[in-house]
Structure 1
Amino acid sequence: MVATGDLIAVTGGTGVVGRRLVTDLVDDGFRVRVLSRSAPDDDIEHVAVDFSDDRPLPSGALDGCAAVAHLAAHIPASQESEGAAPAAFQTNVFGLLKLLAAMEEAGVTRLIQTTSANAYAPGVSCAAEDDPMFPSARAPFYLSSKLVQDVLGAYWHRNRGIAVTTLRLSSVYGAGVETSLLTRFVRLLRDGTPIRLANGGSFAVDFVEVGDVSRAIRLFLANEETGAFNIAGGEKNSLLDVCAQLVELTGAGPEALIVERGEQAEAGFPAIDIAKAARLGFTPTPLRKGLERLVAST
């Protein structure tokens, strides 16, 4: 457990989730050190680290830190391409290994890392933490790297004296999340370009707002819970339903949504069971409220 005023290292602190977390940690009274390739915009302590190469972290990068929030990740532009595997594994797997080595050297024993709740095995209707993980249906090259990250965290916790909490995130959306489908849809609607949904818009995802991820990380910094926890909205939403709401919220006409029928519905990813995190105080933002904020900020 960390205390107000402690120094928290945040990897990937210049990314969308990282920037939000850094701001929230400072507001909560913590000191923050960002480990990333580029320096943060604000007057935040920074150590230049590239998790995509083989070099160890700079000496002293974690000195004085009470905990590490590990957000640095490689998310490929095409998650369905096998060409995405080398970069994903280099950053997400080997990057974690060099972080763990630096933590051991510095004597830092608290790690909160984020992986993916979309790595659960196909066929699960509402995935809980003890359900099997086997990302064979979609994005296997990226999601496999996140699964290995999950495994390594559990190993280091069990065998190497580092208290590891792994937060399995569902599909993150919200202000500034440019990689989210929902941000892309809002921009299309703003530009007057229709959204085209294949297969009746049946593809479904469990969405979680970016602010909820920051709140979850801070929740677990404030307790001593370890292991895996799902961080998600707790329900599965079809693209048809979400886009219909975005059309309404942006004031676009019905012609802005073109739904193409397919031969079969697409299952997408399962709903994510958040009961375990909810027992500790995690409550997700309702999707409608999150969509309203996304539209207002985009």
Structure 2
Amino acid sequence: MTPAEPLPGEDPRPATVIVGRDSNLSARLAKRAPAPTLISAREFSSEGFRRQLPAGPFSLVLNNFQAATRLDDVRNPESFVQVSLGVTASILGSLADYDVRKIIYTSSASVYGDNTSCREDDRLMADSLHSSLKVANESLVRSAGRRHGIDTTIVRLFNMYGGDDNFSLIAKIIDAARLGTPLRVANRGNAVRDFIHVDDVVDVYEVLLDRRDIPVVNVATGFGTSVRSILDAVRREGYELEIESVRRREIDVSIADVTVLSGLVDVGRFGRVVEHVLESIRR
């Protein structure tokens, strides 16, 4: 895949509609996207959302999914699927009524499953309800884009941290060091992950809003960091950590292939998670 040309036409920077009002990424993107409108996914269950959409052309960013704090809560499967997939279907079903120039769907690295190469053209290996629904959303978005002639980009986002995040493992490590709260870590922290700061993610989205023909892109650093190495760095700074290690099934290594992304932005300037953690603790 090669870098694409900017969107042509008289409206190089159409307005931006961002679905997923409570998302950390949505809030940060709304500060920098052109003419942003933030809409809660819940609002799409009524006709009221139509009054919020721009009359002219706009780009559509779909950050809607089950809340991160409830990904393991499947006591009501019908509600889980409705929030995670049904809302996307409802939104896409209304596209014919609007001048949508671009769709970006925020998917997840989880769709790769236990695949250490994590290339955009790899066969997907979803192995959970969460990842399977992400794959289904990707398919819905692609199909709707083809049907309506709308350029679409699937973003496979790796482990995001920073901003107003208070849920990720990175946020919990910072709290554990600053507040002395206990920290539960899976499998002694041996998992290696590709961590990316939310502001670097927003930089990528700004570029994607103005580009065509990027069907799928990993958004990550291409650099792996083990959870244990982060904990070790915190301890070297003199902070005590009360760690409870629990055995849990998880993917050992998840690092993005960033070949496509490197054709769009300078991946080398992205922040490093260990530096972020230490700077946050010192504040």
Contact 2:28 2:199 in 1 (8 A): yes
1:20 corresponds to: 28
| Residue deviations 1:226-248 (CA, integer Å, cap 9, x gap) | 31110012133221112222344
State the partner residue of 2:50: 59
- C-alpha change, 1:290 and 1:188, in structure 2 (3 Å) is closer
Q: Work out the percentage of aligned pairs sharing the same amino acid.
A: 20
- How many residue pairs match? The answer is 272
More relative contact order, 1 or 2 (CA 8 Å, 6+ apart): 2
| Equivalent residue number for residue 246 of structure 1 | 234
1:173 to 154, 161, 186: 161
Q: 2:27 aligned with 1:69, yes or no? A: no
Correspondence 1:276 to 2:260: yes
Give the Cα separation in 2 of the matches to 1:102 and 1:74: 21
Q: Which residue of 2 aligns with 1:217?
A: 205
Letter in 1 for 2:28: R
Q: Does 1:289 align with 2:275?
A: yes
Q: 1:20 to 1:248 in 2, by over 3 A?
A: farther
Tell whether 2:22 aligns with 1:35: no
Asked whether 1:109 is paired with 2:101, we answer yes
1:141 aligns with 2:133: no
Deviations 1:27-82 (A, max 9, x none): xxx21111127xxxxxxxxxxx535x4x4563344332421112122135353454
Q: 1:218: Cα distance to partner?
A: 0.6
TM-score, scaled to structure 1: 0.79
Give the equivalent residue in structure 2 for 1:95: 87
Gaps of 5+ in 1: 38-48
Aligned to 1:202: 190
Match of residue 43 from structure 2? 50
Query: Deviation at 1:199?
Result: 2.9
Match of 1:7 in 2: 15
Two-structure CA RMSD over aligned residues (Å): 2.8
Measure, in 2, the Cα distance between the counterparts of 1:233 and 1:203. Answer: 16
Distance 1:259 1:241 in 2: 16
AA aligned opposite 2:191? F
Q: Give the TM-score, by structure 2 length.
A: 0.83
Which consecutive unaligned segments of at least 5 residues does structure 2 have? Answer: 1-6
Structure 2 equivalent of residue 45 of structure 1: none
Question: Is 1:191 equivalent to 2:195 in the alignment?
Answer: no
1:106 and 1:261, CA in 2 relative to 1: closer, same or farther beyond 3 A? closer
SS in 2 for 1:229: strand
Q: Aligned-pair distance for 1:261?
A: 9.2
**Gap change, CA 1:105 and 1:18, over 3 Å in 2:** same
Tell me the CA shift for residue 285 of structure 1.
2.3
